Amino acid sequence: MSIVVCFVSCAGTKEAEKIAQSLIEKRLVACANIIPGVSSVYRWNGNVKKAREALLLLKTKKSLRKKVEGEIKKMHSYALPAIEFIMAGTTPEAEKWIFGETL
């Protein structure tokens, strides 16, 4: 498997859209999905916090992981953005499309 899906919690849909647009334009990801209104509960600096966020899902090649991570960090508003990658299985047609749309 050489496809990964990246999950990124964003401050809102505008931030998620900005990151998605840039990554698509740079051909670092083939597709971005934005899920608005995500309720997050997390521990930060010893305190339990709650926030409304947008979840950004990005589809790309495993070989672009470091570049995608670096670009997200440049644009993200959080001091420590949550950027998680998971390996993904997909159809041969979808894999060909992802490879064709990325560097």
The chain-wide mean pLDDT, for the chain, equals: 98
Q: What is the CA radius of gyration of the chain?
A: 14
pLDDT score at 79? 96
* Domain boundary assignment for the chain: 3-101
pTM for the complete prediction? Answer: 0.96
Per-residue confidence (pLDDT) for residue 94, from 0 to 100: 97
Average pLDDT of the residues in 72-93: 97
Burial label for 49, CB within 10 Å (0-12, 13-18, 19+), is exposed
Kindly compute the dihedral angle of the four CA atoms of residues 48, 12, 37, 50, in this order, to the nearest 10 degrees: 10
Q: Of all helices (H) and strands (E), which one includes residue 32?
A: strand 31-44
**CATH hierarchy code of domain 3-101:** 3.30.70.120
- Crossing angle of helices 13-25 and 65-75, in 10° steps, is 140
